[in-house]
Structure 1
Amino acid sequence: MPFGLTNAPASKEEHAEHLKLILELLKKEELYAKFSKCDFWLSKVQFLGHVIDSEGIHVDPAKIESIKDWASPKTPTEIRQFLEAAFQLLKQKLCSAPILALPEGSENFVVYCDASRKGLGAVLMQREKVIAYASRQLKIHEKNYTTHDLELGAIVFALKM
């Protein structure tokens, strides 16, 4: 089973049939995918600083590469300077970014999306905890869209994120 998903089809043929059903459902609801922006049967996906592959979910090695290359401090002065720099960096990151929960497994995800006359927004949640969110202002031409089109735009925006 790819990515260790419990409800996912086990073979490429089953995936293809499942994909066909999903695309037919989307077409029936007049929602269309742009295939030039779609990728199927990937062996690895990078998402929110993590890598998802057949072995599970891992921290993206590129995100921790610089930390692994840090030289170990030797003297008390170097240790103090290192800790002060690390604390300042941690403080900056915590103050500038929202606190998000890490995903637990690969089940029970819910995506909420909404639109207003000002912008589009989406939240990815799992077990009532916020995993990720995104929002953006409407582009000038989007301000003329109908409510239905804005809501659809919010869904597309959420799926792209």
Structure 2
Amino acid sequence: MAPKKLEELKALLQELIDRGFARPSFLPWGAPVLFVKKKDRPMRMCINYRQLNKVTIKNKFLGCIVSADGIRVDPSKISTVIDWKPPRNVSKVRSFLGLAGYYRRFVKGFSMIATPMTKLPQKDVKFEWSEKLQQSFNQLKTLLTEAPVLVQPKSGKEFVIYSDTSLNGLGCVLMQEGKVVAYASKQLKPHEKNYPTHDLELAAIVFALKIWRHHLYGEKSHIFTNHKSLKYIVTQKDLNLRQRRWLELLKDYELLIDYHLGKANVVVDALSKKSLFSLRAMNTQLTLSDDGSILAELKAKPAFL
């Protein structure tokens, strides 16, 4: 360490010891100290825990289990959702959606699957628990038990985002090194359903950038959309006010937008549409491959054998 930084470190540590905030440690584990300059020029002490975190054992935190493999749902917390009885009033519906919604980042197309239930608490909607609502309720519980392990994002490595839209909502997947970091989906508001296709596809990108800003800001990201003209959004001259406003947000990020054929964009297609629900209803087996695509297998038996 440079003499100037070492002198600053000793002064800061002595101040912390004098105030009783720190004490000498004789443990074999430690973490390197870094200095960051503040706006008014003095040094600010920071500690780099990355090396220490590599050997840290898994831990439970806010309903999730964090380990070297990534983040997964805590089974003891999910058991509450799994044992939940079908709601019999609007208050119970809100309670269930609130609890299940905490784990929405683990569930592909959460918003689309929960659509029938989210309509119940709306004003002037009569409470009737139909078969469609029961299917939505059961599917959410099933998907939470099958929730995948999400990887922890790494700083300095490129992020990849796949986005897609439909008449029902927006869907996107955040990935890094071919592994899923998080899923996100959103139902369209009434006024958003009037957007032209170009604006709707751009809205999906803006939604992803906003919801994952804490991951993407200051990092390189590669966005794939199935609307080809968005590749040239930055250089287009004739933009409406909404597009200009969103373009200002895009300038905050170091990103590249590329076209990705809609038929190949199967992961996000399932988020923005109800295709996963339909496939599961046909008793298909869904498999997420390493490249992010979904393989649907349907086994058929001849009826007359």
State the TM-score bracket (shorter-chain normalisation): 0.3 to 0.5
Structure with more of its chain in helix, by fraction: 1
Greater C-alpha Rg: 2
TM-score, with length taken from structure 1: 0.43
